[in-house]
Amino acid sequence: MANIYDSAYDLEKAIRESDEFKGLKQAYDKVMADESAKKMFDDFRTTQMQLQEKQMQGQEITEEEVEKAKGVVELVQQHPDISKLMEEEQRLNVVINDVSKIITKPLEELYGNPDQQQ
């Protein structure tokens, strides 16, 4: 019987060595190496997080903030290196979501279907 921690470290290694992760790292490093791209990406992230935080706290988001966010998104989408980075993030996200579904299956089976126990 494999140990949980051994298996988790194997999975971490598999993620680190995957094409998806390597592609993301490459795209990320490219953006970070370009001062103006880095600033644009950081602005985008900051704007995103500020809006998310407001939403979670149930605060009102002003029309001005919506306009600003739209502008920042449009800007980053037109930057080839940043849009590549966002594409790679999306690609790895799909895999990570799949992994999360796979490893939470035992718990989901236990708690999700109380009428279907053996």
At 2 the three-state DSSP class reads coil
- Structure letter (DSSP) for residue 1: -
Residue 118 within binding range of Ca ion, rule CB under 5 A: no
User: Of 4, 35, 63, 64, which one interacts with a copy of itself (CB under 8 A)?
Assistant: 4
Handedness of CA 109, 110, 114, 118 (dihedral sign): positive
Calculate the dihedral angle through the C-alpha atoms of 47, 52, 53, 55, rounding to the nearest 10 degrees. 130
CB 73 within 8 A of CB 44: yes
Closer to a copy of itself by Cβ: residue 63 or 111: 111
User: Of 13, 52, 87, 97, which one interacts with a copy of itself (CB under 8 A)?
Assistant: 13
User: Of 10, 53, 67, 87, which one interacts with a copy of itself (CB under 8 A)?
Assistant: 10
Question: Two tokens at 26?
Answer: 């490459």
Contacted entry of a copy of itself, Ca ion, none for residue 74, CB cut-off 5 to 8 Å set by kind: none
Closer to a copy of itself by Cβ: residue 11 or 75: 11
Residue 51 within binding range of a copy of itself, rule CB under 8 A: no
Helices 80-103 & 19-32, crossing angle to 10 degrees?
140
User: Of 5, 35, 36, 112, which one interacts with a copy of itself (CB under 8 A)?
Assistant: 5
Give the interface with Ca ion as residue ranges (CB under 5 A). 113, 117
